Amino acid sequence: MEKHDDIHGFHEKNVFQLNDTHPTVAVAELMRILLDEYQLSWDEAWYITTHTCAYTNHTIMAEALEKWPIELFSRLLPRIYQIVEEINRRFIHEIQQRYPGRQDKIAKMAVIYDGQVRMANMAIVGGYSVNGVARLHTEILKNEQLHDFYEMMPQKFNNKTNGITQRRFLLHGNPLLANWVTDKIGDEWITDLSAISKLKLFVDDEKSQHEFMNIKYQNKVRLAKYIKEHNGIDVDPRSIFDVQVKRLHEYKRQLMNILHVVYLYNMLKDNPNMDMVPRTFIFGAKAAAGYKIAKLTIKLINSVADVINNDRSINGKIKVVFIEDYRVSNGEIIFAAADVSEQISTASKEASGTGCMKFMLNGALTIGTMDGANVEIAEEVGEENMFIFGTPSDEIIELEKNRQYHPMDIFNNDQDIRHVLMQLINGYFAPQDTELFRPIYNSLLNTQSSDRADAYFILKDFRAYADAQQRVNKAYQDQSWWARTAMLNTACSGKFSSDRTIQEYVDDIWHLDKVKVEL
């Protein structure tokens, strides 16, 4: 009975927050401990488990919704698998009682199905809370990916929009701007980022605008020096620093960015006197070891850079840089220096994103789709102070369902896009191996597998993206407008502190009491 006493009230004092599906085996492991070591009944153990575990879904992408073959799972974890089987058996019984005759519900919701253990399903069934990490993401979970679960257990679902720490990404990473902000409004923002809204008082002040842009210029000089030291490339700090740094994934559409760079380069070659503010396109990314198309995209970025950076005929109007080993420490230098923040994921695919918040905090303007946290950034700073483009999430979801999108039609009818894509396979950027970038070309037009061509709608959104980039070019020429808007982005970033995010977890999911620490 001692062990029963030890476990009494366990769920009232403890929460295991399952950060995506990777730790979901904790549900079954907790059950094993309670059943085998504490000798609780199934109902007692299940009550504690389902009041102790909570699940955060960080993405709708399939690779994060883990599924494990029964053969592997049961061989490695035989007792855990027995428990998972019983969880599944009881949950299927619940489904049958709630939805008699609905085999489709079982097919979607069962923990074990089609020879696999489905970890996301176990996290939902075995916990008391399911949250997404941006409002749009949570709504998509409720209405699309996890709709059957939401219909059955709506009380579990909630949203917790991600955040970042201003102490790392402004105070530490951008000391010039941090000191300037503190001089203007005091240091309350360091522990309460919402206080940064006081900067709005200064956005129309010409002297403050000049100070802000001078800080941005000094940060661009710092990044230019880093690029020269690490890449051997000279970049002009007076050019627009257009930045996309994030994990390399097809849905994040680094490919659309570099194809647009090629498009701009082609235009400049045809018209050297084109009205264009010099632009430095900066990429940083890491690709998973086995993700061939992602690694090939990095190769393409560097191959394009080799051609463009060495073409004297364009007078340095475009430079392309791929920063190696992108990480937090060099990220701080990059965020502080960025003029333009590339947040161009296929709408509905980016759960939240936090890079978008780091750039905003440091006074970069967003070019992006209405996806992930971009939606909430637009609400805070106003769409007129961003460069929004692209097919909306509901249309993307519908196109995926009806499979009526045919990228070859765009290829056949848009000469500029066709020119760019042909450069992938005619040796322009890989003269030693004309077939090197063929897989990228095929992924956009004529995939040989069951996957859809242009699965992330790059060609569909390409023209809208090019138009948005032209708006960036025009807007940057009005330095007063740009300075005001950059300052406004910083001033409106208060919502996106991780302090607010964590407090929402505390209040809504963990139900913890505050502990005051005397210093």
The catalytic residue positions are 58, 246-247, 252, 354, 358
At 244 the three-state DSSP class reads strand
The full DSSP string for 159-174 is: E----B-HIIIIIIT-
The CA–CA distances, whole Å, from 148 to 51, 92, 262, 339, 393 equal: 21, 13, 44, 43, 20
Query: Do 53 and 108 contact (CB within 8 A), yes or no?
Result: no
33 burial via Cβ count (<10 Å: 0-12, 13-18, 19+):
middle
User: d(Cα 163, Cα 167) in Å, to the nearest integer?
Assistant: 12
Closest CA to 254 of 328, 170, 345, 377: 345
Q: Which has the closest alpha carbon to 171: 201, 197, 191?
A: 191
DSSP 8-state assignment for residue 346? P
Residue 494 has φ and ψ, to the nearest 5°, of -60, -35
Q: Which two tokens stand for residue 443?
A: 């992924």
Sign of CA dihedral 456, 458, 463, 465: positive
3-state secondary structure of 316: coil
In contact, 214 and 487? CB cutoff 8 Å: no
Sequence-distant (≥ 6) Cβ neighbours of residue 310 within 8 angstroms: none
What the block records as the tokens of 167 is: 């102490």
Classify strands 116-118 and 67-69 as parallel, antiparallel or unpaired.
antiparallel
Q: What is the DSSP string of 486-513?
A: HHHHHHT-GGGBHHHHHHHHIIIII-PP
Beta bridge partners of 130: 55, 157
Q: What is the CA radius of gyration of the chain?
A: 26
Residue 496: closest CA among 169, 88, 153 = 169
* Rounded Cα–Cα distance for residues 70 and 381 (Å): 49
Structure tokens at 325: 């080993």
CB neighbour list of residue 226: distance below 8 Å, 6 or more residues apart: 330, 333
Q: Which SS3 state, helix, strand or coil, does residue 119 take?
A: helix
**Cα–Cα dist 55/453, whole Å:** 33
Torsion of CA 78, 82, 88, 94, to 10 degrees: -170
